[in-house]
Amino acid sequence: MSDAVLWSSRIYERLLLLYPEDLTRQYGAEMALVFAEDVAAAQRRAGAWGVFRVWRYALGEFVRLAIPGWRSSQAVRVPAIWFGFSLAIMSTEMAMARSHSPHPMTLIDALYCALFLPCMTTPFFAVASIWACRGHRVISLGLKAPKC
């Protein structure tokens, strides 16, 4: 087995952890095996471009199957909302801190402070929250909107 097939298989097995649990429980081993066979065959036929094509289809499948499953899970939805909220707050804080800088801010500096820096820090907290919630029952706080 070549390095590309080995690494691709390992990464795909990690991605399978993000698919809906019932799907991976029932078909996860077969999905990983078929993916490894597809990558190996594509590499023999077309080299790196073949591996790239297999990954393109695998990531398309990931978007169609795994991401909709995330939306229905509160264990993922709550950290995702937290991520969005943190991104907004941190972007504002970074922009305000940068505006008080002694040297003038360029457009690139503003974009860097408002978008890039928060995007680099908050995903770690969101992923940690998702990982911590995995396998645990989500407890509702029972907060409901008041009836008008």
Q: What is the pLDDT tens value at each position of the chain, 148 positions in all?
A: 678 788 888 889 888 877 887 888 899 899 999 999 999 999 999 888 888 899 999 988 888 887 777 766 666 677 777 777 777 777 777 667 666 766 666 767 766 766 666 666 666 666 776 676 666 555 554 545 556 5
Let me know whether 63 and 89 are in one domain. no
Count of domains for the chain:
2
The answer to whether 137 and 77 have CB atoms below 8 angstroms apart is no
Q: What is the pTM of this model?
A: 0.52
Let me know whether 25 and 48 are in one domain. yes
**Domain end residue (candidates: 27, 49, 70):** 70
Reduce the secondary structure of the chain to three states and give it as a string: CCHHHHHHHHHHHHHHCCCCHHHHHHHHHHHHHHHHHHHHHHHHHHCHHHHHHHHHHHHHHHHHHHHHHHHHCHHHHHHHHHHHHHHHHHHHHHHHHHHCCCCCCCHHHHHHHHHHHHHHHHHHHHHHHHHHHCCCCCCCCCCCCCCC
Let me know whether 83 and 123 are in one domain. yes
Range of the domain at 102: 74-133
Let me know whether 45 and 15 are in one domain. yes
- For residue 33, CA distances in Å to 12, 17, 48, 50, 120 come to 10, 15, 19, 17, 33
